[in-house]
Structure 1
């Protein structure tokens, strides 16, 4: 029942806009009684939060995977970034991002829900994973929040911009693997470093 509500809210957001994503419209599209829908969400903002949280919930299994050795850190991180990119660079996510770049009534409300349940939550989840690997002695990371921001920017921000402009197809039409590999090489000091000595 919750999945039907999320699917209906997503469709309405992307095809009809935020104003049309009412409790009544979502219930009708999902084939639910309005009373049933209120068990999942109290209002439109809660519906949007459900949509965006359902996306970041997809990160949980890969972030829960235990890394047992230093040799496993980069492959595990590459897989985490692949899962994140597959979700946040999907057609639905790019569509919501496009919607957020337009002007419409209540944009500030939608943007706040998107930031809190999507960007901030995803960043926090990845940051917690980095901290856990550091605590386990598998990763040296002095500024996990900054590293997390930079890593997500490298892997997601530019492709998202290109996708929103229609220059690049969304995932799975675009493969994030080469960009993830390049980002990890850079973050690990392989692709870029200052030379020592004269």
Structure 2
């Protein structure tokens, strides 16, 4: 995985061949083919390994309403630590350039990263709603808004080189603010109490 990631970020998608990955990893090609049948599967495994990192936080069983926000904060921290890492930001930068296999790599990234991570978080939110611990009319929309607040702007800044990736950048304060906004504590209109 590390060899494939390094080649992707430093040599590009075209240079990330099964032979090059095996050579960089010090493996026989036959051994590498046991992990993945081709380059597309190998890159999908790299991206999936990032979303696999979300599982431990999402597996925590929440039993009471006051436990929902800390559990959600832990999940968002896991997501941020994975998708705002130097490697993930590097892949995002690569996807913002033009190269022959861009549509193929973008589809792998979308399916194994963005869509998979979003589905995992939306499922967690739905489970908390089903237990009566969270009220959300549309958990998928809440999921998208949370990911946008916590991930989208920092990722843009990191991709532009304006902010350092995690762990240099601490996602904690942004996560706290996003959850306060979700709870209605960080923002209110002036007209809220007026007739």
Q: TM-score range by the shorter chain?
A: over 0.9
| Aligned partner of 1:103 among 98, 101, 105 | 98
* Equivalent residue, structure 1, for 2:79: 84
TM-score (structure 1 length as normaliser):
0.95
Where does structure 1 differ by over 4 angstroms across 4 or more consecutive aligned residues? none
| Aligned partner of 1:19 among 14, 29, 37 | 14
Q: Compute the displacement of 1:48 (Å).
A: 0.7
Partners in 1 of 2:193 and 2:134 — Cα distance?
Answer: 23
* Equivalent residue, structure 2, for 1:197: 194
Range with bigger deviation, 182-191 or 99-108: 182-191
Partners in 1 of 2:118 and 2:49 — Cα distance?
Answer: 15
* Equivalent residue, structure 2, for 1:181: 176
Partners in 2 of 1:59 and 1:168 — Cα distance?
Answer: 23
Q: Deviations over 1:122-173 (max 9, x none)?
A: 0000000000000111000110111101100000000000000010000011
Partners in 2 of 1:39 and 1:63 — Cα distance?
Answer: 29
Q: Compute the displacement of 1:43 (Å).
A: 1.1
TM-score (structure 2 length as normaliser):
0.97
Q: Compute the displacement of 1:197 (Å).
A: 3.4
Partners in 2 of 1:196 and 1:15 — Cα distance?
Answer: 56
Partners in 2 of 1:47 and 1:33 — Cα distance?
Answer: 15
> Tell me, what secondary structure is at the counterpart of 1:38?
helix
Could you say what the CA RMSD is over the residues aligned between the two structures, in angstroms? Answer: 0.8
Q: Compute the displacement of 1:68 (Å).
A: 1.2
Matched, 1:132 2:127: yes
Task: Count matched residues.
Answer: 193
